[in-house]
Amino acid sequence: MRLLITGLNGFVAGSIVAQARKTWEVHGVDITEAMGLPTNVHGHQLDLMDKDKVAALFHQISPNAVIHTAAMANIDVCENNKELAWKVNVEITETITGLCQTKGIKMIVCSTDTVFDGEKGHYSETDLPAAVNHYAKTKIEAERIVLAASSKNVVARLSLVMGMPVMGKGNSFLAETIERLKRGEKVKFPENEIRTPIDVVTLGAALTELAGNDFGGIIHLSGNTRINRYEMAIHIAKTLGYDAGLVEGTNSNALAGRAPRPNDASMENGLAKSILKTPMLTLDEGLNLTLNFKLEEN
């Protein structure tokens, strides 16, 4: 069974690769070359905007499932580069979805908790999304495309992803926070943003499981702890023995020049708990798992 993962050099993809390679022949694609890939993982370097090259790659690999993690995910960058964000987050998704539909391939797209407006929190899969920024608009449209193409496709809405990079550098707020706290530097986290963080190891396992099971539709992948990002950072600092006084609270929607953020994007994970063998964890359990996860050599 062959699994194709887009965004190979990304934070989430690294965790999928590390775990999926035990049971899948894994292929990953990224615009930059992947270095030091483990056994049973094949890297392919190309621009996903090149439709002909993407089609040729699908023909070459003939994957059984695709996990689409590649995205333009910086909310402020998307707000300031709306046309490019649409091309990356919507048009690339449309290309990959079309290829999967033609070949009968199951597709999983990674979406986000920020598709919600944050007015109520505790969002379930049946709640309707409502965008407060351009990034969310692109992800809502990507969700629509994927769900319309096949009933076996999956929209996996990810909560705030916490953890240490499993492969490569990745974009880990936890790794950056730890480095800054080690140096005695102050770190700022928004008090207004309530989330249900999921650790990257659990997330990688859940996405791998979804690639191989029969579930189709929307699923929320989130942790069991509902907490605002400032309190989360204080808890992490105290747990790891750093000075919690270095953590400063902010309001992300009161900062000039930034795109709006949903205040309470917390998500319910009852569906994930009911259909997945991969357990959803608390903040402490997830923190312990990601800090102690080791990439197996073979």
Res 72 pLDDT > 90: yes
- C-alpha to C-alpha distance for 56 and 29, rounded to whole angstroms: 12
User: Which of 297 and 178 is assigned the larger pLDDT?
Assistant: 178
**Whether 24 contacts 15, CB under 8 Å:** no
Residue 297 has pLDDT above 60, yes or no: no
Per-residue pLDDT tens digits for 264-279 = 999 999 999 999 999 9
Q: How confident is the model at residue 136 (pLDDT cuts 50, 70, 90)?
A: very high
pLDDT value of position 169: 63
What percent of the chain clears pLDDT 90, i.e. is strictly above it?
92
Q: Which pLDDT band holds residue 34 (cuts at 50, 70, 90)? A: confident
Residues 148-160 have pLDDT tens digits of 999 999 999 999 9
Whether residue 258 has pLDDT greater than 80:
yes
Sorted by where each starts, the structural domains of the chain and their CATH numbers stand as 2-163+197-224+265-281 (3.40.50.720)
pLDDT of residue 36: 82
Q: What amino acid occupies position 55?
A: A
pLDDT at 167: 80
pLDDT over threshold 80, residue 165: yes
The two tokens of residue 36 are: 């030091």
Number of other residues whose CB lies within 10 A of the CB of residue 224: 17
Res 291 pLDDT > 60:
yes
Q: Is residue 189 predicted with pLDDT exceeding 80?
A: yes
Residues 6+ apart with CB under 8 A from 22: 296
Give the CB-side neighbour count of residue 239, counting CA atoms within 13 A. Answer: 15
Residue 256: per-residue pLDDT: 84
Question: First vs last Cα of the chain: how many Å apart?
Answer: 18
The chain-wide mean pLDDT, for the chain, equals 95
Residue 168, pLDDT score: 66
Tens of pLDDT along 96-122? 999 999 999 999 999 999 999 999 999
pLDDT at 298 over 60: no
Maximum separation of any 2 CA atoms in the chain, in Å? 55
Contact 258, 267 (CB under 8 A): no
The pLDDT tens digits of the residues spanning 207-257 come to 999 999 999 999 999 999 999 999 999 999 999 999 999 999 999 999 888
